[in-house]
Amino acid sequence: MIAEIVYKGDLRTEARHLRSGNIILTDAPVDNKGKGEAFSPTDLTCTSLGSCILTIMGIAAREHDIDIEGTKAEVHKTMASGPRRISQIEIVIYMPDRNYSDKDKKILDKAAHHCPVALSLSTDTKEIITIHWK
């Protein structure tokens, strides 16, 4: 078991990572009867994709001695109805101002498109990954 989740009422959950004890709260989003005071479960799914992409890029960077510290990602989510689901996730990655070679860029771009979260999402979920190099 990796986590324990408790329903706190009023459309809020509290998830505790068992190994570290870290806590994540979720709320239903405003457009789905919630308060939107914390990440929604679908926000976490999209955020997990962004975090996974940066992590896999970090692994590739470490293996090839490429410095990507300070890389940032923006996460954009589009919902659909009938049934309610994530229809599109857009991840916009901003690389730090460094002199990346064409080889470095190819390695990192390939890594960005091969993270386990992306491979776990429905094929109906459109994923758009854009990397901005300074």
> For residue 101, what are the domain limits?
40-132
pLDDT at 52: 98
- Two structure tokens written together for 27: 């709320």
* Nearest in space to 91 (alpha carbons), one of 43, 55, 47, 38: 47
Q: What is the pLDDT of residues 96-119, one digit of tens each?
A: 999 999 999 999 999 999 999 999
Q: Name the domain count of the chain.
A: 2
Per-residue model confidence (pLDDT) at position 43: 97
Residues 30, 48 share a domain: no
The 8-class DSSP code of residue 123 comes to T
Same domain, 5 and 30: yes
| pLDDT one-digit tens code per residue, 52-64 | 999 999 999 999 9
Domain match, 56 and 92 both: yes
If you average pLDDT over residues 74-84, what whole number do you get? Answer: 96
β-bridge partners, 92: 74, 130
Reduced to 3 states (helix: H, G, I; strand: E, B; else coil), residue 20 is coil
CATH number of domain containing 127 = 3.30.300.20
CA 133 from centroid of its chain's CA atoms: 20
DSSP secondary structure code for residue 30 in this structure:
G
Mark whether 67 and 95 lie in a shared domain: yes
| pTM of this prediction exceeds 0.85 | yes
Predicted pLDDT at 134: 87
Tell whether the model's pLDDT for residue 23 goes beyond 90.
yes
Instruction: Inform me whether the pLDDT recorded for 123 exceeds 90.
Output: yes
Q: Report helix, strand or coil for 5.
A: strand
